[in-house]
Amino acid sequence: MCDTPDLDRRTFLKTVPAAAVLAGEFVYGHRAHAQGQPLKIGAPLPLSGPAAPLGQHSLWGTQAALRVIEGRGGIAGRPVQLLVEDDGGRPADAVKIMRKMILQDQVDAIIGGASSVDTLPMLPVAKETQTLLLVTVAESDLITADQCNRYTFRLTPDARAKARAMAPFLTGRVAKKWQFLYWDNAYGQSMVKWFTHELSKTGGEVVQGIPIPAGTADYSSYLAKLRPASEAPGLFHSVAGSDAIRLGKQIGEFGLQRQYKIAGTCDVIFPETFDQQAPDLDGSYIVEQYPVKEVAPLDSPADREFRRVFREVSKGVPAGPHSYASYESTFIFKRAIETAGYRDKRDTLKAIQAIEGMTGQKSVEFPQGPLTMRREDHQGLLNLYIWQLRKGQAHMEAVVSAADSGYPPAATCRMS
């Protein structure tokens, strides 16, 4: 019913020339004064398939950080080798590539995991091989709850933190009754679970959830299931990647942005397609870690320097909510290596101990804002930002501190 080829993954790839790099090896430090054996970072990422936008921004983030690090002489004076391979968002491929990188390429750490679907099966591999895994933007609550382990860290806030940050805002200022359109996988299910929980605590309600398979081309049959806005005026968009671009387009074609109060997370709108998507999502409220547009308070000199370096690496694509986590995780890796006096993988536990409880302040290394890497579950605690899209512009509505969006470590996380 809806013809949207102009906004599907093919258009995304046309806007980002570097996305054609689906595998490769990059060395940072050979032009600086770095010496000695290179440190190796593996980056298994979804660079094709529905989650490609998430994987591509994660890759650019790591590359941007390594460009800065290269200019400073490497990590502990050593060059860095980055190994990249596309897992297509397929769990079996993610595991196969990760094992190859660890056992054959002998990487020191993995910085990857942009999609919850392919990240969850990577966690046992990190534990089994005793390899440091820094998850980039995968948000399933299971990563630092039921499936946590000593070798895995995640900087980005998960579904529960976003729900805690946004639920009071939604019920107090937007609507109390909500309908969810969500990806029927670990990511979408986590969002529905925790928003249902947190909305109920603030006087709100999720009246229905509509699961949608990843890779759906036509959303009309799912949109037809929506209840009238008079019964449930809130419409929460919880589909990610290139699928989110197509869903947003159909929301606009049906005029739903004029009927419902729309909200979503960082996966709703992307920097490289912002101007195309904005009319279809006008009025939407977004909670995310790093807004797609430069807006106060994320317009400091540190932010501008991060965005500048990112644009250099991405060939002009702006940074957004899926860009900062891999960038900052690379600096976390750097600090851990230098603090631990790391020489090789026999020192991995020393590096892990250096990350546990690590804090950082807003800077070029950590442009998102202050951070804490919680020792108990290896979950990052960060500020979250709620903004509204109005007439093609981003307007900041609220800054939610880590103290207000945070929660105690899950009882199901048994670190081992």
Instruction: Pick one of 3.40.50.12780, 2.30.130.10, 3.40.50.2300, 1.10.443.10 as the CATH number of 5-157+298-382.
Output: 3.40.50.2300
- Taking the domain 159-293+383-405, which CATH number applies? 3.40.50.2300
Question: What is the C-alpha separation between 229 and 232, in angstroms, rounded?
Answer: 5
- pTM given for the model: 0.91
Laid out side by side, the sheet with 132-135 consists of 23-28, 80-86, 39-45, 109-112, 132-135, 152-154
- Nearest by Cα to 153 from 408, 376, 383, 401: 376
Strands 384-390 and 285-288 turn out to be antiparallel
Per the omega criterion (within 30 degrees of 0), is the bond before 297 cis?
A: yes
The answer to whether the 5-157+298-382 and 159-293+383-405 domains have the same CATH topology is yes
β partners of residue 208: 179
pLDDT confidence of residue 410: 95
Residue with tokens 């200022």: 173
- Each residue's pLDDT, cut to its tens digit, for the chain (416 residues) gives 333 223 343 333 333 334 445 567 888 875 445 567 899 999 999 999 888 988 999 999 999 999 999 999 999 999 999 999 999 999 999 999 999 999 999 999 999 999 899 999 999 999 999 999 999 999 999 999 999 999 999 999 999 999 999 999 999 999 999 999 999 998 899 999 999 999 999 999 999 999 999 999 999 999 999 999 999 999 999 998 889 999 999 999 999 999 999 999 988 888 888 999 999 999 999 999 999 899 999 999 999 999 999 999 999 999 999 899 999 999 999 999 999 999 999 999 999 999 999 999 999 999 999 999 999 999 999 999 999 999 999 999 999 999 999 999 999 999 98
Task: Please name the residues in contact with 226: beta carbons below 8 A apart, sequence gap of 6 or more.
Answer: 179, 210, 235, 256, 260
Per-domain residue ranges of the chain: 5-157+298-382, 159-293+383-405
pLDDT confidence of residue 32: 45
Q: Which tokens is 60 given?
A: 């650019």
Asked if 171 and 199 touch (Cβ cutoff 8 Å), the reply is yes
pLDDT confidence of residue 22: 59
pLDDT confidence of residue 7: 34
pLDDT confidence of residue 36: 77
pLDDT confidence of residue 269: 87
pLDDT confidence of residue 146: 96
